[in-house]
Structure 1
């Protein structure tokens, strides 16, 4: 159950940063330092989510022997 809560929290953070990235990028431009900082932070969270979902998937996928 704790893993699900962590995943939900991570998805909430990803969605928040995604929206923030769009807003800042539209207002300040795509190459602005603030836009780039948010983009890097979002990349880290997306990588973390991908890593977590890959490990979860491999543990809960039946083998095909």
Structure 2
């Protein structure tokens, strides 16, 4: 993805925060979306990390365990 696409994702994350619509389910959907982008090599691991940090969550991102294992 180019920087314009990354900024679009950031903009959507910001709008969701602005409207205070985050909850665990919503955050999980965003995490899954970002994980899919990473798995398909559409974003880099660094971009994934930075975008994931913008998702307000109460629990850790489970997609990392899916990628790396549970051990």
TM-score interval, normalised by the smaller of the two chains: 0.3 to 0.5
Q: Which has the higher helix share?
A: 1
Normalising by the residue count of structure 2, what TM-score does the alignment of the two structures yield?
0.37
**Relative contact order higher in (CA < 8 Å, ≥ 6 apart):** 2
Normalising by the residue count of structure 1, what TM-score does the alignment of the two structures yield?
0.39
